[in-house]
Amino acid sequence: MTASEALDKLLPAYSGYYTIKKENVTSPFNAEAEFTCHTENYVLVKAAKIADIDSNEFVYFSTQQSLDSFLLSELSNIAWKAGLERIKPYYGHRNSDVTLIVITESGSGDLKKAARKLHMSKDYKFGIYGWSNFKLCVLDLSVRKAFSNYHGSDIKKILYKLGLSSCK
């Protein structure tokens, strides 16, 4: 299976809740997905509003012929910066996560270690205006394994259920 075929198999799993974009995406990515959730809390009537809560996630998909730790770091920094540019923190903002999913046909030996070490997060006004976390998952098709950082571990389960990865 090639990386583009794996991406075509993965995107429908996100289409239920995410808005997927394959054209006019941020370079060097192949596709983007965006999830937004707005919740309001109120007491008895809608006029007595307690809180507005917004949650967002921006997902960037990349397919690579071969991947090493340097290229993974570059892709992560580009995704993180592009995701942060789209965030508008305010009092009702809870969180906005930036996710990068890289599908590669062959990866270097230190890819698992490099993926685990990548950690980025940011809070806005000491957490009062919310926070952002970076989720990363790398799918190496040559060994059919997925590697992730701490926040991206839930993505490995999706790849396993789709049959793209042999481990959870």
The predicted-structure confidence for 66-108, as pLDDT tens digits, reads as follows 999 999 999 999 999 999 999 998 888 899 999 999 999 998 8
Q: What is the reported pLDDT for 121? A: 95
Question: How far is residue 50's CA from residue 159's CA, in Å, rounded to a whole number?
Answer: 38
Residue 67 pairs in a beta bridge with 107
Length of the chain, in residues: 168
Name the 3-class secondary structure at 152: helix
> Does residue 9 fall inside a structural domain?
yes
> Does residue 36 fall inside a structural domain?
yes
Q: What is the reported pLDDT for 42? A: 82
**Total domains in the fold of the chain:** 1
Band the pLDDT of 47: cuts 50, 70, 90.
confident
pTM as predicted: 0.91
Question: How far is residue 20's CA from residue 35's CA, in Å, rounded to a whole number?
Answer: 9
- Of 115, 162, 167, the C-alpha closest to 14 is 162
- Of 7, 62, 73, the C-alpha closest to 30 is 62
44: pLDDT strictly greater than 90: no
> Does residue 166 fall inside a structural domain?
no
> Does residue 141 fall inside a structural domain?
yes
Instruction: Tell me what percent of the residues of the chain surpass a pLDDT of 90.
Output: 73
Q: What is the reported pLDDT for 168? A: 67
Residue type for position 38: H
Q: Where are the beta strands (DSSP E) in the chain?
A: 19-21, 31-42, 49-67, 93-107, 121-123, 131-140, 145-148
126: pLDDT strictly greater than 80: yes
Q: How many helices (H) and strands (E) does the chain have?
A: 4, 7
Domain region containing 62:
3-161
Instruction: Tell me what percent of the residues of the chain surpass a pLDDT of 70.
Output: 99
Band the pLDDT of 10: cuts 50, 70, 90.
very high
> Does residue 168 fall inside a structural domain?
no
Q: What is the reported pLDDT for 109? A: 78
> Does residue 101 fall inside a structural domain?
yes
Instruction: Supply the DSSP symbol for 151.
Output: G
- Of 61, 129, 124, the C-alpha closest to 93 is 129
CA atoms within 13 A on the CB side of 131: 8
> Does residue 167 fall inside a structural domain?
no
